[in-house]
Amino acid sequence: MSLNELKEIVSLDQKYYMNTFGSRTPLCFRSGKGIELTDVSGEVYKDFFAGIAVSALGHSHPKLVEALCDQVSKLLHTSSVYYVENQAKLAQKLCEISDFDKVFFASTGAEANEGAIKLARKYFYERGIDRYEIITLNKSFHGRTITTATATGQDKYKAPYKPLTPGFVHVDINDIDGLKSAVNEHTAAIMIEFIQGESGVHPVSDEFAKTIRTICDSEGILLIDDEVQTGIGRTGKMFAYMNYGVTPDIMTLAKALGGGVPVSALLAKEEVASAFKPGDHGTTFGGNPLSTRAGLTVLDVMEQEDLVQNSAAVGEYMRDMIKSKLCDYIKEVRGMGLMIGVEFNNPIAREVVNKLIDKHYLVGAVGDSILRIVPPLIITKQDADEFTDALLQCMD
């Protein structure tokens, strides 16, 4: 009966849903608790993918469930024509725990990044300065709108959609000479992920991060930090930039901020944020009572349960375990906190993903050789041990 149920869901999807995801993994989940997901047949899987780094608190965290049920029973949406209590409080909280002064809320990471690009260009427009180019990194990922796809340093995400938004230049990660050569009198900003997730968990080097900040300061241009995936404790700090001792001018957040409820944020220093005037930017759903209640609750739980420190400690432990137990099979283990990339010596990543599914573990693959492991930030060292043992068994 349950197998037939899954077949019916797949059939409906294939008939009515635009095929943008190809052949999906043949699983459909009905409920979740902690790091576990239960599918329509009652099988339980341990989730080390967290909905692509979204479910930082795991699934059905009691405090998030309670807060969302309470909010749904009261008020879902009014629009930003009116003041929104949760919106104001979440903006305050984000500014207090970061190095920024102002916040704008949207619903997706692409929206937040689009807003960041608009803000950087508006900043110089307000000053009568002809700066509009944005330097980004090859193999980066910034979203799927036309503009954020153009910003993304991967041709596969933008080749079919030409003509693209003009004004973007790409350089290689950690290529200091290339970066310096790319800066010119029209450069408005350098936009980076401190750890590139979609290309296989590649951190920028300390030297590269500090060089970017130095260039921005000396040239009077802006540093945009895309923390859609790395933000909210994922890297063992509340925000990835804190691992580098470098402060951006603009930062974007999404994914883990709502714990599964769609919410994103654009943060900026006061001087930069003031470039946006009434009517310059907006959104219908962004920052509504429900999504910002989710954000407030996620941040409260992160603090109460010390999940940023847990991410740092368990992440380091897990990377060490994988290195020691799988040393004969891996080329490199990369990452910070609980954002981990495992690159194999051979192109076996997709095979390993399938073997892990057979063992009821969920992870992601980047290409043919890299596993992306981004579990909920609530995992324990015992969870990490059990996962590493399962991963080792997949090597046989």
Query: pLDDT digit of tens for each residue in the chain (396 aa)?
Result: 467 889 999 999 999 999 999 989 999 999 999 999 999 999 999 999 999 999 999 999 999 999 999 999 999 999 999 999 999 999 999 999 999 999 999 999 999 999 999 999 999 999 999 999 999 999 999 999 999 999 999 999 999 999 999 999 999 999 999 999 999 999 999 999 999 999 999 999 999 999 999 999 999 999 999 999 999 999 999 999 999 999 999 999 999 999 999 999 999 999 999 999 999 999 999 999 999 999 999 999 999 999 999 999 999 999 999 999 999 999 999 999 999 999 999 999 999 999 999 999 999 999 999 999 999 999 999 999 999 999 999 997
Query: Which one, of 361, 365, 308, 362, lies nearest residue 337 by Cα?
Result: 308
* pLDDT recorded at residue 71: 98
Residues 6+ apart with CB under 8 A from 73: none
The answer to whether 105 is a known catalytic residue is no
Backbone angles phi, psi at 171, to 5 degrees: -130, 165
| Burial call 282-291: b when 16+ CB within 10 Å, e when fewer | ebebbbbbbb
Residue ranges of domains in the chain: 2-60+306-393, 75-304
Catalytic residue among 124, 141, 168, 387: 141
- Please tell me the class of the 2-60+306-393 domain: alpha beta
Query: Which one, of 239, 142, 238, lies nearest residue 197 by Cα?
Result: 142
Can the peptide bond before residue 163 be classed as cis, meaning omega within 30 degrees of 0? Answer: yes
* pLDDT recorded at residue 172: 98
Cα atoms found within 13 Å of the Cα of residue 227, Cβ hemisphere only: 30
The answer to whether 383 is a known catalytic residue is no
Catalytic residue among 226, 237, 239, 383: 226
Catalytic residue among 100, 255, 344, 383: 255
* pLDDT recorded at residue 4: 84
The answer to whether 92 and 260 are in contact (CB under 8 A) is no
Element (H, E) at 63: helix 62-74
* pLDDT recorded at residue 1: 44
* pLDDT recorded at residue 23: 87
* pLDDT recorded at residue 3: 75
Burial (Cβ within 10 Å: 0-12, 13-18, ≥19) of residue 371: buried
* pLDDT recorded at residue 396: 76
Q: CA 125, 183, 133: angle at the middle one, nearest 5?
A: 35
Residues 6+ apart with CB under 8 A from 49: 362, 363, 364, 372, 373, 374, 375
Q: Among the residues of 129-237, which ranges form H helices?
A: 146-151, 176-182, 206-219
3-class secondary-structure state, position 122: helix
- Please tell me the class of the 75-304 domain: alpha beta
3-class secondary-structure state, position 45: strand
The answer to whether 172 is a known catalytic residue is no
Dihedral angle, C-alpha 82, 83, 86, 92, nearest 10 °: 140
**What is the distance between the alpha carbons of residues 5 and 9, in angstroms, rounded to a whole number?**
6
Strand partners, 264: 106
pTM flag (> 0.95):
yes
